[in-house]
Chains A and B, each alone.
Chain A
Amino acid sequence: MDKLVEFIARNLVEKPDQVRVRQRRYRERTVLHLRVAKEDTGRVIGKQGRVANAMRAVLHAAAQAQRRPDVELKIQ
């Protein structure tokens, strides 16, 4: 899951080398923390959170495909 977010985020930003994803697993869910260069924040959030929500939809589908607990994405 972290690799998936990292891949997408790196391909959306101007500074791919500053993309960091940290994954935390809990019993019922996995939480991913995505961090990008400050000026790239907008690129991974999007207007009205559109990009972030698209990534969430993809993560949700991936979790289903892998029969894994649902994934939460936080952007900081």
Chain B
Amino acid sequence: MSVQPYEFTAPTVDEAIALGLQELGLQPEDVEVQVVRKGSRGLLGIGRTDAIVRLIPRHSPAPTSEEVAKPAEPEVSSAPSEQEAPEGPASDLSASQEELPAPGPAQAAPLSAEATPSPPPPLPSPQEIGQLARDLLTEMVDLMGIRARVELHFLDPDQGTEPVIRLNVVGDDLGMLIGRHGQTLASVQYLVRLMVNQRIHRWIPLIVDVNDYREERAERLQRLALRLAEQVVSSGRGVALEPMPAADRRQIHLALRDHPQVYTQSVGEGDRRKVQILPK
């Protein structure tokens, strides 16, 4: 299965960009957008094409303090609205100011030299970055109290582009690491990316998988898409899939993007967003 982490397809350019940003975990200002192909609605649904965009992450998208909601101090009234937060208690910026042991005199120190290393170190090789990412994930999984090992692979999306680092966590009973619809897995991947990014100050394409869940799910979704497409063609009526996360919707769009008789579109907002497969 080919992995193309940079290109995203959707009925319109805006939707494709939104999809890509959601999947990469980046904000609009973190990427440069290239429109590969503008979608066209066609005439009466005939000759319709999806839009394809390529997102090129700018370096170091890690959020800095200024970009984020200001409150370093408790701010009771306005917790930032969580657009697509997973279930769980609302973010707790307004934490209680209890007796924490004072974190030492360093607190008062101004930005010290350590924060800004003067000579830029040589760029680490993909192998070194992969090893670093693997070490970070291994320790994280270990501290979670989960017995598993982490495999490191490199995927070549296209000739001439940087290989994609793929970390696959292997072990028994790792369902909790995947979570509902892979949401926990998405969080793990996001954190590993941020940690690697913080270390090398550069965005790198990285995928975290658990027992090949992502790969298998992608294949399952593609088979499902093809099956439903057949159904749409024979019945002449469109179908809607159940709501699913961006990465899953993308698989459906990709599977059917060159289908001669159906097209796909996403409808709904947030958690309710789902793919429709419609006759052309």
Contact = CB atoms under 8 A, between A and B. Distances in A.
Nearest to B136: A11
A65 B98 contact: no
A60 B177 CA distance: 10
Query: 5 smallest A-B Cβ distances: which pairs?
Result: A42-B68, A49-B91, A42-B65, A57-B187, A62-B144
Contacts of B136: 11
A27 interface: no
Interface in B109-146: 111, 115, 136, 139-140, 143-146
A64 B179 CA distance: 11
A11 B65 contact: no
Nearest to A75: B95
Interface in A46-65: 46-58, 60-62, 64-65
Q: Is the interface of B mostly helix, strand, loop or mixed?
A: loop
B240 interface: no
Nearest to B111: A39
Contact of B67 (A47, A60, A66): A47
Interface residues of A, number: 47
Interface string A1-38: 00110011001111101101010000000000101011
A15 B198 contact: no
B184 A58 contact: yes
Contacts of A49: 69, 80, 82, 85, 91, 93
A54 B192 CA distance: 10
Interface string A60-76: 11101110000011111
B74 A4 contact: no
A58 B144 contact: yes
Contact of A48 (B80, B96, B146): B80
B241 interface: no
Interface string B90-106: 01110111101101101
A72 B92 CA distance: 9
B220 to A, nearest CB: 22
A46 B144 contact: no
B140 A8 contact: yes
Contact of A8 (B111, B179, B195, B199): B195
Contacts of A58: 140, 144, 184, 187-188, 191
Contact of A42 (B64, B103, B199): B64
A39 B111 CA distance: 10
A14 B111 CA distance: 10
Given A49-B80, A53-B86, A74-B96, A17 B187 contact: no
B68 A47 contact: yes
Given A12-B198, A48-B85, A41 B68 contact: yes
Contacts of A51: 63, 190-191, 194
B66 interface: yes
A4 B143 contact: yes
A64 B176 contact: yes
